[in-house]
Structure 1
Amino acid sequence: MLDRRLRVLVIAEAANPEWVSVPLVGWALAHALRTVADVHIVTQVRNREAILRAGLVEGRDFTAIDSEKLAAPMWRLAERLSMGKGVGWTMKTAISTLGYGYFERLVWRAFGDQIRAGKYDLVHRVTPLTPTANSRMAPLCARAGVPFLLGPLNGGVPWPKGFDSERRREKEWLSYIRGAYKALPGRGAMLRHATAIICGSMHTLGEIPARYRDKTVWLPENAIDPSRFSLTAPQPGTLPLRGCFIGRLVPYKGADMAIEAALPLLRAGQMTLDIIGDGPQGDGLREMVAREGLGQAVTFHGWLPHEQVQGVAARTQLLVFPSVREFGGGVVLEAMALGVVPVVADYAGPGELVDDATGFRIPMGSRAELVAGLRERLQAIAAAPEALPAMAAAAQARVMRDFTWPAKAAQVERIWRAVLAGAPPPQDLRLPR
């Protein structure tokens, strides 16, 4: 095994410190990996200015690949076909993915000679996160004798039964046939030649063919920057409870279910609820709260800058977040980092991040079943709020131990070194329940 710092080419087509979602994950992980290895980041040119503002030096620390000739028209097409702002994400991902092969071709043109010459110990593609974006560099690196790693891969969590109306309102028509991506040309070669495959969810891991499971490892893609979480929520262990919901106000995120489930406690003065975020459901939810006479119990904060979100959330004891289609669940980790106990639907990302010591998982079911289960859980918490302080402390400790970007970088480095030693990736990084 190599006992020096590794030299790694990290491909992060989406990596932007000033954006959110996948670009922010791509940037945060790629940047954190620079602390454990000599990393050169390869990204798309749209991220160039933001990365320069973050202090990296072009040419030395990163290279921006200009694939706009194809990427720009593909994005415009995706915007038109998705039929609305903030909806149709499966369509956006599918169309944008069509142009990814061109990006990788330009990456190989720029770095192929260096890879073949052994300048890098391994090549790691961090983004795209979607498993539908096939990589032509996997077989090329294999031919050059350089390990190629994929991931974290995540996305495409199936819509749960009973939520078809929410799916249609999100314009997720393409999600009905999403599984067709497994037949796309290049997928078999990518999986066959990848040295290790990191999956961000158990669902995505389950989509990897069994013959490649020995080189597959579960590692959620989300983490937090501990420097951005300086507050800890008060947990008095008494009533009234104060809960928060953080996210877009759209049907599948479940703010309406959170309010409906909490109604008895809100009416009785045993709980208050802070709603942070906005979206198409916003007006309807405000009308619902006014109609129920809950104006003093529910506060709508609208969209807030990230630093202000922390200030509001850190005044609460519970994150009430019954989202039914959450790939990663970054907001759950952020709440835990503040010592806020998560109450989540036991489905996909959030259900994998929370365990019995750190929060509450509501069994997945129909909308009515989920609301009933959430209501029962909230009432049980209100009956014994003295259990919350210990759970909050456990949640905060777990995030600060396992789910910071430095911790994530150390976990990935373990995978790198195992691969270079000819061993399968370690399976004890942080196992799901």
Structure 2
Amino acid sequence: MRVVIVAEHASSQFGGEAFLPLNYFRLLRDRNIEAWLVVHGRTQAELQSLLPKECDRMYFVSDTWIHKFLWRFGQFLPSRVAVMTTGLISHLYTQNIQRSIVRKLVRQHNIDVVHEPIPVSPKFPSLMYGVGAPVVIGPMNGDIEYPPAFRDRESRSAKLTISLGRQLADIWNRVMPGKLQAQTLLVANERTKQALPSGVTGTVIELVENGVDLFVWQLLAAEKIPSEAAKFVFIGRLVDWKAVELLVEAFQGVAAETDACLEIIGDGNLRQELEAQAVNLGLGERVKFFGWLSQKECAMRLEHASALVLPSLLECGGAVVLEAMAMGLPVIATKWGGPADYLDTTCGILIEPTSREALINGFTDAMLKLAHYPELRSQMGRAGQQRVRQHFDWERKIDRILEIYQHCSVSNFKTNSKFKSLITNTSI
């Protein structure tokens, strides 16, 4: 099996979906699968340091003045608008260059499958067509809006821009028909499947977007010993849609009744504002900001935590939820998007986002419940570990993706009609 992984970024430092192509490439190479990686040069130094033995298998698109101009212009736009305008243009510009590299690799190495794991948006067009090998795209995960009670967090102009972009998606995907011509499209859920562009002809398979590397997020060998004071941890970017300001407000009620503390790990344009909010609420000593930490450092913080808290209002995936579960932690999260797919009542507490007050009060009550009942934390943590082992281990995910590659490869993609009918509705 010979595979090319092509993506905008592959990184352990960028966070979010950039982890996905990195994990596919790294784990395939760990199994001695012939694989190559084609990404943007922004992460070249990191990847060459992280995977020094694979340098000859990694190809990088240089950062040009066009990339830099689009990035700078995008800083003046709302984040979701930037993703669908300057971000999309930059991505397609990069992909156009990557397409030439991929075509050359296919010819030189007799590639069986080209896999494009990101962007995860089902609406974004793809230029990975006509490359000389079958193409797999995904797993995709998207088409999510703010909960109805929180739609006013987005400006009217942003809403109009996003709505127009989605309406034009079918046109984009006909002009750049990578998804329409892909041999296989992977989707994380039914919501994403319904959001695919019209005219898709390939096999559509349901496959979880995120996974957990259990070598990094290790299952604890011994039973967690509850500390006297509960410690709640948030991990993520400090941006509007993560709703961290609501978490800080919710924690005020927890701090009033317990000795619990809240650790906020991550960085973003709202950090100073959130730090000021904590001070103004009298929580300066109880809410601690750690900035950006590596995966290893995050795992170390979680090892001494009582629970993960994630108030995000626009989370398609939420890998951090799975990582906390792997560490034996219960999770308190908004019942919306990805966390609602990953958690059940045995391992987490999901808060309905019916209103601002309901979300704040729900997080307060859930944190108090876990602070007062350490045995409940241990019980939910064990259930989360079991759920991760069964459904979200990256090694199991690689097993599944190799099956998909095998049936999509050059030697099989013309004769796999039985496979297509068998797996169209399966999932992991």
- TM-score interval w.r.t. the shorter chain? 0.7 to 0.9
**Could you tell me which of 85, 97, 110 is aligned with 1:103?**
97
RMSD over aligned Cα, in angstroms?
A: 3.5
1:154 and 1:14 map into 2 onto residues whose CA distance is 17
**Could you tell me which of 290, 313, 333 is aligned with 1:324?**
313
2:196 and 2:268 map into 1 onto residues whose CA distance is 35
For 1:184-230, what per-residue CA distance to the aligned partner results, in whole angstroms no more than 9, with x for missing partners? Answer: 14378434422211124543222026875982223233233322234
For 1:81-123, what per-residue CA distance to the aligned partner results, in whole angstroms no more than 9, with x for missing partners? Answer: 33179784444432223314522441354145458xxx23333
Look up the SS of the partner of 1:301 in the other structure.
strand
Q: Which 5+ residue runs of structure 2 have no aligned equivalent?
A: none
- Report the CA distance between 1:384 and its aligned residue: 4.4
2:84 and 2:126 map into 1 onto residues whose CA distance is 19
Q: Which 5+ residue runs of structure 1 have no aligned equivalent?
A: 1-5
- Report the CA distance between 1:242 and its aligned residue: 2.3
Q: Which residue does 2:270 correspond to in 1? A: 281
- Report the CA distance between 1:349 and its aligned residue: 1.8
**Could you tell me which of 135, 138, 142 is aligned with 2:126?**
135
CA spacing shift, 1:136–1:209, aligned 2, 3 Å: closer
TM-score, scaled relative to structure 2:
0.82
Give the 5 Å matches for 1:337-356: 337-356=326-345
Contact 1:326–1:348 (CA under 8 A) maintained in structure 2: yes
Range moving further from structure 2, 334-343 or 49-58:
49-58
- Report the CA distance between 1:238 and its aligned residue: 8.3
Contact 1:75–1:92 (CA under 8 A) maintained in structure 2: no
CA spacing shift, 1:426–1:265, aligned 2, 3 Å: same
CA spacing shift, 1:158–1:100, aligned 2, 3 Å: farther
For 1:405-433, what per-residue CA distance to the aligned partner results, in whole angstroms no more than 9, with x for missing partners? Answer: 32221121132334444313364443xxx
- Report the CA distance between 1:375 and its aligned residue: 2.9
For 1:321-373, what per-residue CA distance to the aligned partner results, in whole angstroms no more than 9, with x for missing partners? Answer: 11111232122122112112111111112222222222121123332232233
The amino acid of 2:339's aligned partner reads P
For 1:41-68, what per-residue CA distance to the aligned partner results, in whole angstroms no more than 9, with x for missing partners? Answer: 2413514444433124455x34x15465
Q: Which residue does 1:181 correspond to in 2? A: 169
2:267 and 2:102 map into 1 onto residues whose CA distance is 42
1:172 and 1:26 map into 2 onto residues whose CA distance is 30
CA spacing shift, 1:20–1:281, aligned 2, 3 Å: closer
Range moving further from structure 2, 328-337 or 19-28:
19-28
Q: Which residue does 1:370 correspond to in 2? A: 359
Percent identity at matched positions? Answer: 24
Q: Which residue does 1:43 correspond to in 2? A: 38
Q: Which residue does 2:48 correspond to in 1? A: 52
- Counterpart check, 1:159 vs 2:156: no
Look up the SS of the partner of 1:260 in the other structure.
helix
Q: Which residue does 1:123 correspond to in 2? A: 114
**Could you tell me which of 296, 302, 310 is aligned with 2:299?**
310
Give the 5 Å matches for 1:376-395: 376-382=365-371, 384-395=373-384
Contact 2:336–2:353 (CA under 8 A) maintained in structure 1: yes
CA spacing shift, 1:175–1:39, aligned 2, 3 Å: farther
1:93 and 1:243 map into 2 onto residues whose CA distance is 34
Look up the SS of the partner of 1:398 in the other structure.
helix
Contact 1:156–1:178 (CA under 8 A) maintained in structure 2: no
2:291 and 2:196 map into 1 onto residues whose CA distance is 39
1:22 and 1:135 map into 2 onto residues whose CA distance is 16
The amino acid of 1:120's aligned partner reads I
CA spacing shift, 1:427–1:259, aligned 2, 3 Å: same
**Could you tell me which of 4, 13, 21 is aligned with 1:9?**
4
Range moving further from structure 2, 153-162 or 84-93:
84-93
- Report the CA distance between 1:170 and its aligned residue: 12
2:225 and 2:330 map into 1 onto residues whose CA distance is 13
Contact 1:7–1:37 (CA under 8 A) maintained in structure 2: no
- Report the CA distance between 1:168 and its aligned residue: 4.3
Q: Which residue does 2:24 correspond to in 1? A: 29
2:96 and 2:288 map into 1 onto residues whose CA distance is 47
CA spacing shift, 1:170–1:354, aligned 2, 3 Å: farther
The amino acid of 1:32's aligned partner reads L
1:249 and 1:187 map into 2 onto residues whose CA distance is 36
- Counterpart check, 1:78 vs 2:71: yes
Q: Which residue does 1:3 correspond to in 2? A: none
Q: Alignment length, in residue pairs?
A: 414
Contact 1:91–1:172 (CA under 8 A) maintained in structure 2: no
CA spacing shift, 1:133–1:288, aligned 2, 3 Å: closer
TM-score, scaled relative to structure 1:
0.81
- Report the CA distance between 1:151 and its aligned residue: 1.0
Contact 1:12–1:127 (CA under 8 A) maintained in structure 2: yes
The amino acid of 1:159's aligned partner reads Y
